[in-house]
Amino acid sequence: MKVNLVEKEVMDPLAESGQKNILLNDIPSPVHQISFFDNTKPGADIILNLLKTRLKQMDVIESKKPAGAAASKSQLEKAAEGDVSILALGDCGSCTTWVILDAIRLEKEGVPTLSICSHKFTPFARKLAQAHGAPNLRIVEIAHPIAGLDPEKVKEKTNFIIPEIEKILYNAD
Amino acid sequence: MKVNLVEKEVMDPLAESGQKNILLNDIPSPVHQISFFDNTKPGADIILNLLKTRLKQMDVIESKKPAGAAASKSQLEKAAEGDVSILALGDCGSCTTWVILDAIRLEKEGVPTLSICSHKFTPFARKLAQAHGAPNLRIVEIAHPIAGLDPEKVKEKTNFIIPEIEKILYNAD
Amino acid sequence: MSNKIPDNVDKSCGCLIEDLLTKSEDSKCTGQPENSDYNKRERIMVDPDVEKISLDFYQKKFTDGLPIIPPTRSRVNKFYQYSKGDPQEVMAILPPLQGKATREKIAVNGVMAGCLPHFMPLLEKAVMGLGDEKFNLAGVNSTTHPVAVCTIINGPVRNELEFNSKSGCLGPGNLPNATIGRAIRFCLINIAGAVPGIGDHSTMGSSSKYSYCFAENEEKSPWEPLNVERNILADSGAVTLLGMEAAHNVNDHRSQNASDLLDTIIHTAATPGCNNSHVPGELLVIMSPEHARTISDEGWEKKDVKKYIHQHAVVPVNLADRGGRKLDEIWCKENMVPITRKIDDVVIVVAGGPGRHTMLAHGFGTSCESVTLPLD
Amino acid sequence: MSNKIPDNVDKSCGCLIEDLLTKSEDSKCTGQPENSDYNKRERIMVDPDVEKISLDFYQKKFTDGLPIIPPTRSRVNKFYQYSKGDPQEVMAILPPLQGKATREKIAVNGVMAGCLPHFMPLLEKAVMGLGDEKFNLAGVNSTTHPVAVCTIINGPVRNELEFNSKSGCLGPGNLPNATIGRAIRFCLINIAGAVPGIGDHSTMGSSSKYSYCFAENEEKSPWEPLNVERNILADSGAVTLLGMEAAHNVNDHRSQNASDLLDTIIHTAATPGCNNSHVPGELLVIMSPEHARTISDEGWEKKDVKKYIHQHAVVPVNLADRGGRKLDEIWCKENMVPITRKIDDVVIVVAGGPGRHTMLAHGFGTSCESVTLPLD
């Protein structure tokens, strides 16, 4: 006698994304006022301070937000005062998440953003941005690690990425 | 067409015991010298001290052993100097284990023993003794808990079990 | 050892259906028969081979690496019997990947984890709790920190579903504890995207990410249980979700009064390495019935214990300010920082069997607030 | 919720073979057919229903509550192919219940846990290590303390078997880590008798009793790995068994030099509640590659780090002497007690992925010594 045992099908445990794409904002030309959104991770201030010395023709609005958690409404409002907001630093899991998610919140408020993440966490940052409907969110990669380093080493790594940031900010010229 | 699907048998994960029964030693009559084997658990000293005042006609050899681990060879030798050894206290998992296992080591050296365990751990103590080939090991139950109590309460609980201990020690009379 | 391992051992073959066929002449492995000759034979639908599905799902990164129950439609349908409403209804959107937690996806992950069908209402409620904004699941899932979701069950459901609140309740050996904790992890992986190394960046991870679910030992507690403290009627069950590290021990056999015992606890809790030291937040204190009794026998209420721990568990600022996020001065007083922000950050439950132990779990810090939801 | 739970839901029926039969007229569930009518029909041997076996074994207290792979003889036989010698040979006697750990019993428990057949040599070695007297498995298994068996893998076997030594290595997501850790727990339950609440008296237990196995990240370590430190050739793999609590975290993102970072570690390690405070013993320090690099960049060797931690992780005697066993004065110096007895009690391994974390696990104290065995 011939018998075929056929296995029942199994169902897929993976969820679909509940997110629709959002529109990103263009960087204005020229940028008059730039906002630096510092999440207090070690080295974020060093990166942003060095950047400040290089972007002399722009006014800088400095504000802080928590790493690993959402910015408060008032923190977000302050960061939204710039023509562009630069967020630093995503160099761990939860801080990368909330750099990206707060960047997306700013984009939704009409503020173009640029997020700085370390290269070990950038692939995740891009996947996250995509899942939240912003596959083209501007993310600049800096060499991991940043925390635990001597400030001079952080400056060295920052110097590598400044041309890319300048290109984005002056591209519209 | 009729088909019967028959499930394959499964194998048993439970191991057999690798232990053969051992012989327990009779309590001599009369007992001249008794050894108190204190595992330093809170209250063990209180129980044994009260017992000492009640067993006036016996010489007491006091010695200590670790809770939760085996007695050293020299500790065991000292405890073996008595005609009988009383071990206290098994009122937690690992200390009960090593009260029972050290009692069995003493029995193997020819020393009759009596182990004091709290009632929450006595069923385990008996199962353990059985697994180690000594289903009839003498175990006296004291009301759990002992640790964390005022000394007076420990004495009260000890007074409840002294008649049973006396009965065992004087039974041979 | 390398020469002992053929490349294809049990890992890529997918032919374990051969095991199913012992007397049949045909041991060809074809899950989806296509040739006509094959189709003339009698077909019998059988459950998928558990080894094959477990390995297949593992390789797709759907699991923890342990065996699963194959989520066939018939098994998933059994779960729906204990649920209300459309299987496609979205119960929560789970970050970071914004996955739609439909009833169907919750049930599929629940089946895989080994849950029984009647756990479904509790699973749904737990997943809804994870979606609460204050829980910050986006951060909890993605962080390099070893935080896991700790689930605490209160109320009559503890006994109805036979949860363990006694000896060994934080560990293995009880089906509801084990499978519900695991189902929540599967939902985090497959719905929220917390795949280890991909959407979950925990530097080392934690055993508590396998399963971390237990019930409060309300019968042996001298105090009101967690659900009552959180204004849920004692008659209702409740599920509480916390973002917590694995619990570690406070062995205290010798303290005979409340303040001595609490001193052992606070000095074990107040450490610079925990997240609470630089971003103060919740601290979970799981007290054994014997420890709780030592304290309550002196007349201490639960709120007194919480207040004492909040006030005394403090870390020197110079050691505390070493975490990722900068310590905010608002928390500091006289060069010390309390590891909790407020009295209610000290979350106390009584659990466990005999023994003089308390277990402590530090939280994720300021960035995660626990959520308690009533069960119907 | 109580009225939703029929008495017999999936818990006692044993009739889930009905699920297997969808088109057959006969859905009678009889594993051992006895009537003659039945025997005239065609019999096809199939794998046991995984739900039924998992529940049956759970109710017999053979499991952790999660699904298992049914240990059929054919599956167990596959494990023997990677072993040498008689299946009935006793590899170790495991206390407290003095169970005979034969190859057969190790393989059965390994199958159940979800291990692959070629894990067998490693499983055998691990079980042999558990039987080493200095490990004090009798105490480790039965204690009210939440100690679990932590298994660390070194050498080429890490990559041959595809262990995880990187992100999330202490947690779920990798089959060898997950199933080998679980198989060891099953051996403790079914061979040694460490059934939670019966032979395992852990007051609360611990998630680390589900599974607690990982590999050292030797590639990213600046120091010699654990096996080499313990005089096993780097070319040989090794398995190390330690009696440890669940690991908890030391978050340090800010220290830029070795002594600052080590200070965060020692002040997190030196707590009165751990067993090490009253019965000093081993302390497991799992350092992320980034933390290790910060320290080694200043020229610190592993032995320097161990020495520093041994010398500085101390607890005041008045807080330390609160455990079950009385603190022995021989350990104390100037009213302080070190939580380790000697430099080598500080066990350091490098593991994990990106991130600035170290994880600490306190041991069972003086009463358990780790065991390292070379793999063939």
Question: How high is the ipTM of this complex?
Answer: 0.91
pLDDT digits (tens, 9 = 90+) for C218-276: 999 999 999 999 999 888 899 999 999 999 999 999 999 999 999 999 999 999 999 99
Which chains does chain D touch, 3 or more C-beta pairs < 8 A?
Answer: A, B, C
pLDDT digits (tens, 9 = 90+) for C132-164: 999 999 999 999 999 999 999 999 999 999 999
Which of B42, B92, B150 is the closest to C355 by Cβ?
Answer: B92
Residue of chain C with shortest Cα separation from A2: C41
Residue of chain B with shortest Cα separation from C19: B8
Determine contact, residues D214/D252, Cβ cutoff 8 Å.
no
pLDDT digits (tens, 9 = 90+) for C318-355: 999 999 999 999 999 999 999 999 999 999 999 999 99
Q: How confident is the model at residue C299 (pLDDT cuts 50, 70, 90)?
A: very high
How far apart are alpha carbons C116 and D8 in whole angstroms?
A: 11
Phi-psi region of D138 (alpha: psi -120 to 50; beta: other; left: phi over 0): alpha
Q: How confident is the model at residue C67 (pLDDT cuts 50, 70, 90)?
A: very high
Mean pLDDT, range D230-247, rounded to an integer: 94
Which of D256, D290, D356 is the closest to A150 by Cβ?
Answer: D256
Q: How confident is the model at residue C5 (pLDDT cuts 50, 70, 90)?
A: very low
Determine contact, residues B164/B47, Cβ cutoff 8 Å.
no
Say if residue B64's pLDDT is above 50.
yes
pLDDT digits (tens, 9 = 90+) for B8-50: 999 999 999 888 899 999 999 999 999 999 999 999 999 999 9
Contacts of C256 in chain B (CB under 8 A): 148-150
Asked if C246 lies within 8 A of D10 by C-beta distance, the reply is no
Distance from CA of B114 to the nearest CA of C (A): 23
Asked if B92 lies within 8 A of D279 by C-beta distance, the reply is no
Mean pLDDT, range D153-160, rounded to an integer: 97
Interface probe for A, chosen from D16, D356, D358 (most Cβ of A below 10 Å), is: D356
Task: Note the pLDDT of residue D33.
Answer: 42
Asked if C324 lies within 8 A of A42 by C-beta distance, the reply is yes
Mean pLDDT, range D5-16, rounded to an integer: 34
Q: Which among D52, D156, D65 has a CA at the least distance from the CA of D113?
A: D65
Say if residue D288's pLDDT is above 90.
yes
Residue ranges of domains in chain B, CATH in brackets: 33-170 (3.40.50.1700)
Tell whether pTM > 0.90. yes
Say if residue D143's pLDDT is above 80.
yes
Which of D47, D179, D249 is the closest to C20 by Cβ?
Answer: D47
Mean pLDDT of chain C: 90
Say if residue C25's pLDDT is above 90.
no
Chain C contact for B123 (CB, 8 A cutoff): no
pLDDT digits (tens, 9 = 90+) for A39-50: 999 999 999 999
Distance from CA of A95 to the nearest CA of C (A): 7
Task: Note the pLDDT of residue B77.
Answer: 97
Determine contact, residues D280/D320, Cβ cutoff 8 Å.
no
Q: What is the torsional sign of CA B64, B66, B68, B74?
A: negative
Asked if B145 lies within 8 A of C254 by C-beta distance, the reply is no
How far, rounded to the nearest angstrom, does the alpha carbon of residue D11 sit from its chain's CA centroid? Answer: 29
Task: Note the pLDDT of residue D40.
Answer: 60
Contacts of D106 in chain B (CB under 8 A): none
Task: Note the pLDDT of residue D289.
Answer: 98
User: And the tokens for C58?
Assistant: 């593992």
Mean pLDDT, range C61-80, rounded to an integer: 98
Asked if D264 lies within 8 A of C272 by C-beta distance, the reply is yes
Determine contact, residues A23/C47, Cβ cutoff 8 Å.
no
Say if residue D24's pLDDT is above 60.
no
pLDDT digits (tens, 9 = 90+) for C206-227: 999 999 999 999 999 999 999 9
Task: Note the pLDDT of residue B172.
Answer: 55
Mean pLDDT of chain D: 90
Percent of chain C with pLDDT over 70: 89
Percent of chain A with pLDDT over 70: 98
Residue of chain B with shortest Cα separation from D326: B40
Q: How confident is the model at residue A3 (pLDDT cuts 50, 70, 90)?
A: confident
Percent of chain B with pLDDT over 70: 98
Task: Note the pLDDT of residue C40.
Answer: 60
pLDDT digits (tens, 9 = 90+) for B92-126: 999 999 999 999 999 999 999 999 999 999 999 99
**Per residue, what are the HEC states of chain D?**
CHHHCCCCCCCCCCCCHHHHCCCCCCCCCCCCCCCHHHHCCEEEEECCCHHHHHHHHHHCCCCCCCCCCCCEHHHHHHHHCCCCCCCCCEEEEECCCCEEEEHHHHHHHHHHHCCCHHHHHHHHHHHHHHCCHHHCHHHHHHCCCCCEEEEEEECCHHHHCCCCCCCCCCCCCCHHHHHHHHHHHHHHHHHHCCCECCCECCCCCCHHHCCCEEECCHHHCCCCCHHHHCCCCCCCCEEEEEEECCCEEEECCCCCCHHHHHHHHHHHHCCCCCHHHCCCCCEEEEECHHHHHHHHCCCCCHHHHHHHHHHHCEEEHHHHCCCCCCCCHHHCECCEEECCCCHHHEEEEECCCCCCEEEEEEECCCCCCCEEEECC
Mean pLDDT of chain A: 95
Strand partners, C92: C101
In chain D, what are the domain boundaries?
50-374
Mean pLDDT, range B67-83, rounded to an integer: 96
Task: Note the pLDDT of residue D248.
Answer: 98
pLDDT digits (tens, 9 = 90+) for A94-130: 999 999 999 999 999 999 999 999 999 999 999 999 9
Interface probe for A, chosen from C24, C49, C60, C142 (most Cβ of A below 10 Å), is: C142
Interface probe for C, chosen from D15, D63, D204, D339 (most Cβ of C below 10 Å), is: D204
Distance from CA of C228 to the nearest CA of D (A): 18
Mean pLDDT, range C95-123, rounded to an integer: 97
